[in-house]
Structure 1
Amino acid sequence: NRAPRFTSTTARARARVDAMHRPPGTQGMAGKPFRATYIWSSIITNLHARVEVKRRRHNLKSYHDCFLGSEAVDAVLAHIIQSKFCGDAEVPRAKAARLCQALMDSRVFEAVGTNVFGKEKKRATFEDSSCSLYRFLDAQKRGTANPDGLDNGYHTSTSEGNVVDEVWRQQTVLRLLQLIELPLLESLLDGKESPRPPPARHGQRPRPALYQQLRGSRDPQSLRADNWLSAAVDCLEFLPDQLVVDVSRGLPKCSDESDQCKRLIYGVLAQHYGEPQHPPLLSNHVFDIHSGISELLVNGKREQALEALQLCLKLQDSRSREELRRLLRFMATAADPQEVRVHKEVSGNRMAVKRAFSSAIVYSARLAKGKVDLMVLFLMDNHSDAFKIPGSLHRLVSEKLASIIKGKDPNSVTGTTFCQRISGQAYTETVQETTKEELWALLKTIHENAKLSVKEKKRLLGQFYKGHPEIFVQYFGTRIASVDV
């Protein structure tokens, strides 16, 4: 009897969400594409983008890839208000919390089990709290949790999910084209990989032993409050095992002061990310994007540069983006002049950090050193905002999905455009017609030019006849017998 109860509960939750958050103008859309999926998927897509998924500690234990219940409510509530799913009506926080409960019932995410007195405890009820931890479920787990084939609201069909992903990618590229001067980005639109793919990286693996060693000589409360160590250990999760072992072996040799411990960890991170063969984490393979962003910075257009960076990072794969996010957070923390001095010879932490990690962030072979430095420092200074999705992209995606809901051509361009889109056949016909008109005008100029000598005109007409006899014949018609070529 468990399966029927699960099915009816989830269906009722979905019905409540659809009724509560259907935007104006979407009523009575039965039978139209994306009727139920649009609102649901937009909320979940926004939730994935807004909450901070990372390893978190609860009761001195670590739980990987988690987000807070309060953060989820904040993200959902902001999205509902911004998108005006409820019109201009006031949306109470409790309503957003109920929506999060429906998302959890539909297996979009699950509560993370925490140990209480040695027993694992999972919450069945969503809690709007900074102490409650949740974790997104992948597509496979969502599928297995729904044996009756009930629409779970996020991946109701593979084709619809693919279309939503493609809309995000296309609108990201279109917005980039509006910000910086770029060539055709067919490789980005097609989702092609970089010609220099990064090697397989280690997953986000918790290192409890390393935390235990750090706790051994320090008070747990002060350890959690030390942003430097917290950011550094987050970066260590992406390092090879041998380097982490080196850190573990070196920690007992450190004195009670934390400065020696920090220098040890910094040295290992700088060694790993300073290797020449380490591929840059800002791995978008279209060089012109990086060049365009650096030009914006040189010209003092910092707001446009930040938005272009946000769009560029949106196009990256999730793993390199997460690793870059952690590294930039650590760099910004280590660059603080009040923190431990990280290099004996280089004066100032900021320049030392920039020099140690620049090559691991942006590919500098084709970009001038000054521009590379400018980009790296800009990323450090804006690391907390660089990974947010700009509001302009949210608007473009919303307009595009809304046009699809209304049954319009999904290939039509919404928002600002600079030219009219035509089919390949129309383009070929236009090229042929324009070429014919220009050749006709050229032949007329040669034939009617009184300044040309008879010999020169004969030579030019002969060359034209050899190259384009059909136009030559059409132009002269019945007079062709009198033309001397």
Structure 2
Amino acid sequence: MSSHVITPGPYRATKLWNEVTRLFRAGMPLRKHRQNFRHYSSCFTASAAVDWLHQLLCSNSNFGPDVTRQQTVQLLKKFLKNHVIEDVKGRWGTEDLEDSNTLYRFPSTSPLKPIPCPAPASSSIKKRSSFRDKEGFFKFRSFKKHEKESLVKQETQRRELTVDDEQDIWRDITLTHLQRILGVASFYEVLDPRCVNPQNIIHNMTKVNKHGVVTLDDKNSKYCSVLRAATCFLFPGPKYDSAQPSYPGFERDVFKTVSDYFYSLPQPLLTYELYELFINVLGVLQPQCERVAIEALQLCTLLLPPASRRKLQLLMRMMSRISQNVDMPRLHPAIGTRTLMVHTFSGCVLGSAEECDLDELLATRLVSFLMDHQQSILSVPEYLLSAISDHIQYLRTVQVHLNTVAYGHFEEQKLASSQKAMEELLEILLTDQNISEKDRRKKLKQVTKHFHNSD
């Protein structure tokens, strides 16, 4: 039974659902079972389905080894609701399924979800003009002799590098790099660029502390207080105050306080707007492409609002430290600390505005990778910062050069025009037979005097 990686592109979550459905129907062993003195052929128990599907998900690169048995049960519930499976009496449409010996079977109809055909981006979305699209910035158009000073000023002003232009450069270069990494033909396949605020990118790359964490103007937010308390209690340093509260289960209470805070936020840290983008990044999150996935997530997290990125940075650091702290008492009697971290916070990191059947599994996969590589993913990519800074500096240099050349051309034209006018006037004075010699000498003297004064 073969499986394949669902690469980045539109409707990736739906394609993943269809892929899991196809593998489950093709590989799940079917047997004859007896229940209530009746025999049912080509069916399976719920527990057998949980065993088989859990193994499939853990070994599938689209989901990974952090999938739990309980998550597998939740997926089977969704299968029953969406008529991927039905009980042996043909009932479906609810999520009434438990890890038990209840018998289920596959329906004869196809359970695959249809993949919508995306409309061409050009027909529904007007592309925003970019600074790099403005003709004439990189090429100097030579001036003709008859051009006036107003045209010179207009050309100079048209080449001005504005704040909006610079913001467009930050956005365009970042998205160009990200599109290349994801390997999509158009960025509209995974994200509407209009959702990208270039000010977020600039803030996230330039306003960071010595640890690389985004700094905010509001340094007294509720989250900072919650996290400082959690860090102090869960990771006491050399100045640890033994008088601080400590009792059996104290660490669990602190941990619950932090999780309650995150689940009280109005939307996940990766935001609803960027949900489809992060789902598509999972398409490059394969064992042989780890470095590529890290770079893609580096760029994606730069698009977040600074407050969300800061929360994500601090949360991932805390999760990583708790997972690696062998001296900390167990936070759950039956679940390991790492698994607890991933499954506790995955829902408040990634989620869609409308319920998605694979939300929980996909969030687990992403958060697990984020936690393991948080130091690399949530750092500022220096290569990108240098590329953007160098490009803006180059454009500023070109602008100064163009302004200088344009002014020089104007001065040359003004001088040439003056000289030509002088020549025409002298020719008239010397050849006009209607002017007396006395008036001719007088006018020549005036012209000569005016020429020397203007020079």
Q: TM-score range by the shorter chain?
A: 0.3 to 0.5
TM-score (normalizing by structure 2)? 0.40
TM-score (normalizing by structure 1)? 0.38
Which protein has the larger Cα radius of gyration, Structure 1 or Structure 2? 2
